[in-house]
Amino acid sequence: MDQKAYLKSLADELESLKNRVRHFISDSHWLSDGEWKESALKSIIRRNLPCNIGIGNGFIVSEELVSTQIDILLYRNDLPVLFKDGDFTFVTTDSVVGIIEVKTKINSDKELKETIEKILNNVELACSKDQDNFRFSGLFVYEDYDPEKVLSVLENLDARGDPRCMNIISLGKDHFIRFWNDTHDKDKKDKWGAYHLNNMAPGYFINNIFAYMNRYWANQNDKVIFPVDGKENYLIDSYR
């Protein structure tokens, strides 16, 4: 199996899907374009999800608080939902498996900080009652952004606490950031790594979602879902 070719094909597929609506609407309806980009990523994730995980968009509800709207919400299918109409879903905190924010682009460091803070607040709410089900948080940006600036914002926000942690970030086609807190390798543990992955960042992002779903499955199939040479040769910066 050519893992690199497969990962690159995911980036190409997303690029094709995200441009399809733009060909029809040009610049006349940015909201529809943004929603379609969320839908494009969601459709690729959906087809590989295990049957016990649901996917949609919506809100997390606790006894006292309600989250901001979450672009892609992954939740347990074996627990009741509070409300569901198509993909639009309200779930309780104990159902949440993962949350993803989707952006076309980041326009400034201020916007980046606000976006990550929003994710961290939703993570904290999801874990407020029971952390056992929650697996990851992610930020997916279709256009590239300086990964070193992202690391700086993560450092300033100290976004590696329990439970306020940012796990995976994809920036354009080439840049990928992951927080390492689940490894026995002392050189990786509890730090972010930023990587330049030629046209493979979206694929790494998507496959890491499934890796977070089931760590045992990911460890057993690491050389099936990721290139054999790994990504450490492509590390460009890190923050502990």
Instruction: Quote the CA–CA distance of 133 and 136 in Å, as a whole number.
Output: 10
Nearest CA to 91 among 55, 135, 115? Answer: 55
Instruction: Quote the CA–CA distance of 162 and 110 in Å, as a whole number.
Output: 24
Q: List the domains of the chain with CATH numbers.
A: 3-226 (3.40.91)
Question: pLDDT digits over 117-150, tens only?
Answer: 999 999 999 998 767 789 999 999 999 999 999 9
Give yes or no for residue 191 having a pLDDT over 90: no
Instruction: Quote the CA–CA distance of 70 and 88 in Å, as a whole number.
Output: 10
Supply angle C-alpha 47, 222, 146, rounded to 5: 80
Residues facing residue 137 across a β-bridge:
99
94 and 129 in contact (C-beta within 8 Å)?
A: yes
Question: pLDDT digits over 36-95, tens only?
Answer: 788 889 999 999 999 999 999 999 999 999 999 999 999 999 999 999 999 999 999 999
Least confident of 70-79, 157-166, 173-182, 183-192: 183-192
What pLDDT score was predicted for residue 184? 54
174 and 101 in contact (C-beta within 8 Å)?
A: no
H-run or E-run covering 176: strand 175-180
